[in-house]
Amino acid sequence: MRIGVLALQGAFEEHIKMLNSLGVETFEIRQLKDLSEIPDGLIIPGGESTVMSKLLDELNIREKILEYADNGMAVFGTCAGLILLCKNTGDPRCKGLGLLDCTAKRNAYGRQLGSFETIGKFDSIGEIPMVFIRAPYISEANKNVTVLSTIDDKIVGVRQNRILATAFHPELTADLSVHKYFIDMIKNR
Ligand code: GLN
């Protein structure tokens, strides 16, 4: 199994470390030619969604991701990655990939709660540590989207077929279970 990690900016190294410790081969995606072959999965990390959206277009990577997703590549987005996956990002500077039939709310927790850690339930996994950094939540999810996790009634984890997204950063904790969940999603296609 090979999983590519979008490495344009933001917190991509931590994802690579987690995947490697789960025995998965990884590679960094910095330009279009890094996507010359379809990988089994793609991770879109946290960072700044408006910047990443712009880079996806400047580097002509956006179309390739959509083509591969259409051909069965699984995608996992965390935080800014979740925003980029949504149909509606709630911000005209950030063009969503539209792979999740959802509306995101950026920087949704206000200044006071810009960053926080909590423990929350995630689907079949149970309780896991969750790190939120100027995080979004999903304000609307279509009924073809499965909600995997909510914190204070706000949706922070979803799945739609082969697309997985979390508003929090599992890669910034020691808990490997969400990455393992993504790998199992790829295996059990
Ligand atoms: N606030 C960022 C955005 O809107 C997301 C922050 C993150 O990825 N940790 O893009």
Per the structure block, which two tokens stand in for 120?
A: 């929350």
Calculate helix-pair angle for 177-187, 13-21, nearest 10 degrees: 70
pTM of the model: 0.97
Nearest CA to ligand 1 atom 2: 48
User: Do the strands 163-166 and 74-78 form a parallel or antiparallel pair, or are they unpaired?
Assistant: parallel
**Distance between Cα 20 and ligand 1 center (Å):** 24
Q: What is the pLDDT of residue 114?
A: 79
**Distance between Cα 173 and ligand 1 center (Å):** 17
Tens-place pLDDT, residues 78-119: 999 999 999 999 999 999 999 999 999 999 987 666 799 999
**Which residues neighbour 126 within 8 Å (Cβ) at sequence distance 6 or greater?**
none
C-alpha pair distances (Å), 19 with each of 15, 37, 137: 6, 19, 25
Report CA torsion sign: 132, 183, 56, 122: negative
The percent helix, strand, coil of the chain (3-state, each to 5) is: 30, 35, 35
Q: Which residues are catalytic?
A: 79, 169, 171
Phi–psi pair at 135, nearest 5 degrees: -85, 155
Per the structure block, which two tokens stand in for 56?
A: 């996806």
Contacts by residues 104-108 (CB-CB < 8 Å, ≥ 24 positions apart): 104/136, 104/137, 104/138, 104/139, 105/136, 105/137, 105/138, 105/139, 106/49, 106/136, 107/134, 107/135, 107/136, 108/135, 108/136, 108/137, 108/139, 108/154, 108/167
* DSSP one-letter string for 115-129: EEEEEEEEGGGEEEE
Contact 131, 168 (CB under 8 A): yes
Tens-place pLDDT, residues 41-83: 999 999 999 999 999 999 999 999 999 999 999 999 999 999 9
**Distance between Cα 61 and ligand 1 center (Å):** 20
Tens-place pLDDT, residues 129-179: 999 999 999 999 999 999 999 999 999 999 999 999 999 999 999 999 999
Nearest CA to ligand 1 atom 1: 134
* Residue 10: closest CA among 183, 178, 173, 172: 172
